[in-house]
Every structure is written in C-alpha cells, then in structure tokens.
Amino acid sequence: MNYNFKLENDVLLVSLEGRLDTESAVAFEQELAVKCKETPHESLVFDASQLQYVASSGLRIMLKMAKTEKNFRIENAVPDVYNVFEMTGFSKIMKITKALRKIDLEKCERIGAGGNGAVYRISEDEIVKVNFNPETYAGLDKELAKAKEAFLLGIPTAISFDMVDCGEGRRGVVYETIKSRTLGETMQSNPERMEELTEKYIEQLNLLHSTVTDNPVFSNAKEYYSNQVTNAAKYFTEEEGRLMNMIVDALPEGNRLVHCDAHPKNLMIQGEEMLWIDMEQMSVGHPIYDLISIAVVLNGMRTDEMILNIAGMDNATVAKLKDCFIRKYFRTEDPEQIKTFASIFDALRLIRAVFAVGFTSSNTEKYRPAIIEMSRQVFFPNIEKIIGGIKYLVSVIDNMK
C-alpha cells in the first residue's frame, strides 16, 4: 500500500495505491490523522484511481473521515472497489465517484459532429457522444441522469449507459446504437410521409407534455432561460438586458416535461418507434418552451447547408413541415389562423438566437457579432410583439388541454 498527500487550493488530496488491507490500514490511519491535524484544509479527497482493494478496516477509516471532515469525498474508484462501496452502502452516505471507462476515439468511426463535440460509433451496439468543451462536462452528468429518469417515466429515449474518458481530457456519454435515421432526415428523403410523420412528432411532444414530475434531476425551464439571459447580458447594454428579462417574465412556470431542444434532429426513428435524444436541456415547464425551440427550425435558415446541418432537412422541406405542424398541432385549417401562428413562430425563433449569445460553443463564437447586430435590428424593436406571441400561444395551448 502506497499513499501520498498533496495540498492544493485548500484541498488535501490523498492518493491511494495498492491494497488498503488490515495491515496497511493501521499505519495509514495514523499518518492521515497527523496530516489532517497539521495541514489546514477545507476539503479532504481520497483519489482511489490506483486503489485495488479495500478491507473493512480501510472502510472504517473512510467512515470516520466522512463523520469528522466537513467536506470529504472519494474520487475515481475503480469498478471492483466501487462495487464494495455500493454493497456496503457507503455510496449512499458519502460522495463517491466511479472511475470512467476509457474509450480510444482513434479506433472509433466518427458519425456526426456539432458545436461542442462529435458522435462516434464504439461498436455495433454502442455510440459515444463526446464533448470537447470542458465547460460542458457538468452538463454530461445531468444529461445522463435526465435520460435515465425520462426512460423510467415512460418517455421513449435511447438507453444511456455511462460517462466515459475519451482521452486528452475529453468526456462523453455512451448510448445504445440506434439503427435508424433522424426524423428530419426521414422527412427529407420521404416527403410523401410528411403528414404521417408530423402527426407522430406531435404525439411524442404531447406525451412529453402530459408527463408531470417533480423529480429534481430535471431543470426548471424558466430558470434555464433566466440563466441564459444572465450569461448573454454582458454582450448587451443594460437596457437590452432589461428587455430580455421582460421575455423571461412573460414565460410561464410549469410542471410538465419539456425537451427544450425539440427539433426534428433530436428524434430518431427506429422501426415504428420514435426516440428522443440529446436531453441535456430537458426540464419541467410549459409546452411553450418546446414550441420556441421548434420555431427556430420551422423558419428555416439562410442556406440549405445550414438547415440541413441543424435539422436534417433543406429549406423547402422545412417550409412544408411548418405548414403541416401548425395545422396539426393547433388543429386548424383556417388560413388566417395558420398565418397568425406562422407569424408568431417567426417572432419566437429570435428568442433562442439572442439568448444563446452567452454560450461558449465554437458556433456561437463564430456568429456572435452577427447575432448581436440582428438583435438590435429585429429582436429588441419587436419585444412587445414577441411577448404578445408568447402570451397568445400559452392561452391557446392551455385551452387545448
């Protein structure tokens, strides 16, 4: 048994290597007590990445630390040791993280890419969604937890397995391989199925929006938008920040599941089943939050290349989806009503673009100046119209229940 101590940023890190058995536990406990007493610290962390075995005497030391130290945790426990913590119940009474499985991306096929990362095929049965931006890693834990809880609530989702270490400091989440295409790609290649696929799309939205939960793993959609404004406000004037907060104030609370990024590329079709993916933003709120995210796609992009990358469809197909979606979602064939809803969607799409100015993705960095310019030409001068659109859609949706 080897161990060493290191103090950094008020954290006393204890690296453990080998076997913490009955014989080694005595000497370790004595030296640990001296170090904790003589070294001022705010947190005590055991790095268990090299710990091969822990006996009951070692567990008693950890239990004592959990009781006497204000901030104690165990990190990077290898599977065999982590199983001991789970079987003894330690994982329920103290903070313990499991060592991540390692994935060699050089041996994997890259099958997709986005602003913060890419997707690789690990095997016939597994893919990994890799995030290259360390600032998003806290979100990976949340996405994994949300995907599992949504599945248990009966929401059709791709099964999520675990978080993994992809080398060079990169993290990823492993999902089952879905032998299918996205909803957007299917609409693009099968335009004759537009009506049928749109109905199934709306069925999945309605399933989400009929699911009530108070599970704390899901974010609060309104708080999420409020935090976006906080991050974006530093790129705008104080008055512009106030106007963005007027949008947030107009958005309702709610206790129903919302995906918050519910565009057609985040639904996969496997056989006759649709499965939600990319659930990092999944929250509780009002259906209006999903309509805002859908509005971004339904109004198309400047070029076919841009919209194909985001939604899997070209602008012509998106235009057909917009008409079909409005008719079926709001249950109307009235041309004037369809025109009204289309106009509101055109206004709502601006919310996502402007609120995302504070994101750290490469796409946001690239387009931030253009978004800021657009917001001052189109978004801020139309705040009252956007707020009116939000209030109108909320009332319509509530009356449709």
Q: What is the pLDDT of residues 28-43, one digit of tens each?
A: 999 999 999 999 999 9
pLDDT of residue 292: 96
Q: Is the dihedral of CA 350, 352, 355, 361 positive or negative?
A: negative
* CA-only gyration radius of the chain, Å: 25
383 and 318 within one domain: yes
Claim to verify: residue 131 and residue 230 sit in the same structural domain = no
Q: Is the CB of residue 310 less than 8 Å from the CB of residue 301? A: yes
Last residue of a domain, one of 51, 79, 99: 99
DSSP readout, 324-385? HHHHHHTT---HHHHHHHHHHHHHHHHHHHHHGGG--SHHHHHHHHHHHHHIIIIIGGGHHH
Answer whether residue 135 shows pLDDT above 70: no
Residue 177 has what pLDDT?
A: 78
Among 65, 99, 133, identify where a domain stops: 99
Judgement on whether residues 81 and 127 belong to the same structural domain of the protein: no
With cut-offs at 50, 70 and 90, classify the pLDDT of residue 377: very high
pLDDT: is 320 or 115 the higher one? 320
> Is the domain of 19 the same as that of 131?
no
pLDDT of residue 209: 97
pLDDT category of residue 362 using cuts at 50, 70 and 90: low
pLDDT of 115 above 70: no
DSSP SS3 for 53: strand
Residue 299's domain spans which residues?
181-400
Residue after which a domain boundary falls, among 76, 99, 122: 99
Q: Name the pLDDT band for 27 (thresholds 50, 70, 90).
A: very high
For the chain, what is the mean pLDDT? Answer: 91
pLDDT tens digits for 148-179? 899 999 999 877 778 888 988 788 888 887 77
Phi and psi torsions of 210, nearest 5°: -95, 0
Q: What is the CATH number of the domain that holds 123?
A: 3.30.200.20
Averaged over 11-37, what is the pLDDT? 95
Average pLDDT over residues 61-78: 94
Q: How far apart are CA 310 and CA 306, in angstroms?
A: 6
Give me the pLDDT at residue 102, please: 87
The confidence score (pLDDT) of residue 33 equals 95
Shared-domain flag, residues 201 and 332: yes
Task: Say whether pLDDT at 132 is over 80.
Answer: no
pLDDT grade, residue 263 (50/70/90)? very high
Band (pLDDT 50/70/90 cuts) for residue 79 is confident
pLDDT bin (cut points 50, 70, 90) of residue 388 is: very high
pLDDT value at residue 61: 96
Beta bridge partners of 108: none
What pLDDT does 116 receive? 66
Number of domains the chain contains:
3
Regarding whether 210 and 83 lie in a shared domain, the answer is no
Taking the C-alpha atoms of residue 68 and residue 36, their distance in angstroms, rounded to an integer, is: 10
In a shared domain, residues 251 and 342: yes
Task: Check whether residue 93 and residue 155 sit in a common domain.
Answer: no
- CATH at 77: 3.30.750.24
- CATH number of the domain within which 352 lies: 3.90.1200
Residue 65 carries which side chain, given as an amino acid letter? M
Task: Round to whole Å and give the CA distance between 97 and 86.
Answer: 11
Same domain, 170 and 141: yes
Average pLDDT (292-299) is: 94
Both 146 and 253 in one domain: the answer is no
Mean pLDDT of 182-204: 95
| Per-residue pLDDT, 21 | 93
Instruction: Name beta bridge partners: 232.
Output: none
Same domain, 170 and 34: no
Percent of the chain at pLDDT above 90?
A: 68
Q: State yes or no: pLDDT of 77 exceeds 90.
A: yes
With bands split at pLDDT 50, 70 and 90, how would you rate the model's confidence at 147?
A: confident
| Least confident interval from 20-29, 53-62, 229-238, 304-313 | 304-313
Residues 140 and 188 in one domain: no
